[in-house]
Amino acid sequence: MKARIVVVSGDGIGPEVTDAATAVLQKVATKYGHEFSFEDGLIGGIAIDKTGSALPDETITLAEGADAILLGAVGGPKWDNPAAAVRPEQGLLKIRKHFDLFANLRPVKTYPALAQYTPLRPEILENVDMLFIRELTGGIYFGHRQEQGDGDTAFDTEQYSVPEVARVAAVAYRAAEGRRKKLTSIDKANVLASSRLWRRTVVRLNEDYPEVALEHVLVDAMTMYMMTRPASFDVLVANNIFGDILTDEASVLAGSLGMLPSASLSGGTMGLYEPVHGSAPDIAGQGKANPTGAILSAALLLRYSLQLEEEAKAVEAAVDATLASGARTADITPRGSAYVSTTEYAQAVIEGI
């Protein structure tokens, strides 16, 4: 197979973790007889510095001809000004909207080797294997917003339509059909009108997926259940802001935010793949970044955009084996203990493929 992948490394540790992920993809290509080409594009703070835009038109043009996009992270103290007219995060929102990447898939699983790095009891972490599906192009992040008068008041609008909810719910139902046939829909229907529309739509769609058991959980309750009975969940679907917050909370289950990957998909095979973590400017350039999330995002790229399931499983198995061997980056190592660098960890994964 031939595939063209655009790499937008972004800021902070973004270049370090995407370098690790592309090295893993290159090993996969060599081992399985594929031909992957990589082209670099700008996004985030570095794009603002070089072009004045958080997502230059040149990057969009590059990505429009690609099979997939691999993203690092955006932002940092240099651009940390919420009042600025151009901000790194605008690049993320723009690329998601431009390619209509409405479904954000975030797998969360626990690793026995990392149980000691979470604040939860080991028995709570047993058999945790869930898939979050977050709506990504609607809701409060894209709604009408305004600061009123002299800036003493402001509003952001949470707005959804039935088609927006239905299409992401369908992705969740199909995922549940291929897993344990259980779907948890997260909302705040006891308070929010947008959540009541969300719930009605998810319920109606259940008629098309009769084998999937549907349950509804209010978002505030979900924050508690995530920490007390995470193994009881399979596929979960949530709106943009609830999904954003809950998946960051879920990083506690995996031992570190650096462990979690994500895939942002549209109606076709084109997708954007990125670790859930941010740019971590405090450790950038020090070899301390955990590339697991980026490497597992590359595995999702193989699975969803290139339909290379065997290769995706090979990468995931190599990550499991690397962790089981004792290889640890700084974030999953006890303070004061020795750890491997970002590139050393990636090399261990590569050798395991």
- Is 325 among the domain residues? yes
44: left (phi over 0), alpha (psi -120 to 50) or beta: left
Torsion of CA 266, 272, 277, 278, to 10 degrees: -110
Least confident of 103-117, 278-292, 305-319: 103-117
Count of structural domains, the chain: 2
Q: Distance (Å, rounded) from C-alpha 353 to C-alpha 343?
A: 16
- Is 190 among the domain residues? yes
13, 44 Cβ separation under 8 angstroms: no
Q: How confident is the model at residue 334 (pLDDT cuts 50, 70, 90)?
A: confident
Instruction: For the chain, give the longest Cα–Cα distance.
Output: 62
| Mean pLDDT value of segment 32-61 | 98
More confident position, 338 or 272: 272
pLDDT at 216 over 80: yes
Query: Tens digit of pLDDT for each residue in 67-90?
Result: 999 999 999 999 998 888 899 999
Give the per-residue pLDDT at 187.
98
Q: Distance (Å, rounded) from C-alpha 307 to C-alpha 36?
A: 14
Give the per-residue pLDDT at 146.
85
Give the per-residue pLDDT at 311.
98
Q: Let me know whether 129 and 244 are in one domain.
A: yes
- At residue 187, the 3 state secondary structure works out as strand
267, 124 Cβ separation under 8 angstroms: no
For residue 348, which amino acid is it?
A
Q: Distance (Å, rounded) from C-alpha 87 to C-alpha 141?
A: 14
Q: Distance (Å, rounded) from C-alpha 74 to C-alpha 281?
A: 10
Of the three residues 254, 284, 309, the one that is the final residue of a domain is: 254
Query: Tens digit of pLDDT for each residue in 91-145?
Result: 999 999 999 999 999 999 998 888 888 889 989 999 999 999 999 999 999 999 8
Give the per-residue pLDDT at 149.
58
- Please pick, among 208, 220, 282, 313, the residue that the annotation labels catalytic: 220
Would you list the DSSP string of 257-285?
Answer: GGG---EEE-SSS-EEE--SS---GGGTT
Of the three residues 230, 254, 278, the one that is the final residue of a domain is: 254
Q: Let me know whether 128 and 233 are in one domain.
A: yes
pLDDT at 150 over 70: no
- Please pick, among 244, 273, 288, 304, the residue that the annotation labels catalytic: 244
Q: Let me know whether 144 and 79 are in one domain.
A: no
106, 120 Cβ separation under 8 angstroms: no
Q: Distance (Å, rounded) from C-alpha 94 to C-alpha 77?
A: 21
- Is 167 among the domain residues? yes
Give the residue numbers spanning the domain of 247.
119-254
Q: Let me know whether 98 and 198 are in one domain.
A: no
Q: Distance (Å, rounded) from C-alpha 39 to C-alpha 77?
A: 27
- Please pick, among 100, 129, 156, 248, the residue that the annotation labels catalytic: 248
pTM, to two decimals: 0.93
Q: Distance (Å, rounded) from C-alpha 212 to C-alpha 85?
A: 45
Residue positions counted in the chain? 353
Active site residue 57: no
- Is 111 among the domain residues? no
Q: Let me know whether 18 and 58 are in one domain.
A: yes
Give the per-residue pLDDT at 148.
65
Q: Let me know whether 80 and 144 are in one domain.
A: no
Q: Let me know whether 179 and 306 are in one domain.
A: no
Of the three residues 254, 281, 303, the one that is the final residue of a domain is: 254
Query: Tens digit of pLDDT for each residue in 252-275?
Result: 999 899 999 999 999 889 999 999
Q: Let me know whether 244 and 329 are in one domain.
A: no
Active site residue 40: no
Q: How confident is the model at residue 16 (pLDDT cuts 50, 70, 90)?
A: very high
- Please pick, among 11, 188, 234, 331, the residue that the annotation labels catalytic: 188
- Please pick, among 111, 141, 160, 209, the residue that the annotation labels catalytic: 141
Q: Let me know whether 125 and 93 are in one domain.
A: no
- Is 224 among the domain residues? yes
Q: How confident is the model at residue 303 (pLDDT cuts 50, 70, 90)?
A: very high
Q: Let me know whether 276 and 321 are in one domain.
A: yes
296, 251 Cβ separation under 8 angstroms: no
- Is 162 among the domain residues? yes
Give the per-residue pLDDT at 119.
87
What's the mean per-residue pLDDT of the chain? 95
Q: Let me know whether 196 and 81 are in one domain.
A: no
Tokens of 279: 């740019």
Q: Distance (Å, rounded) from C-alpha 293 to C-alpha 74?
A: 15
Q: How confident is the model at residue 342 (pLDDT cuts 50, 70, 90)?
A: very high
* CATH number of residue 219's parent domain: 3.40.718.10
Active site residue 141: yes
- Is 295 among the domain residues? yes
Q: Let me know whether 142 and 242 are in one domain.
A: yes
- Is 307 among the domain residues? yes
Tokens of 51: 């072009």
Give the per-residue pLDDT at 169.
98
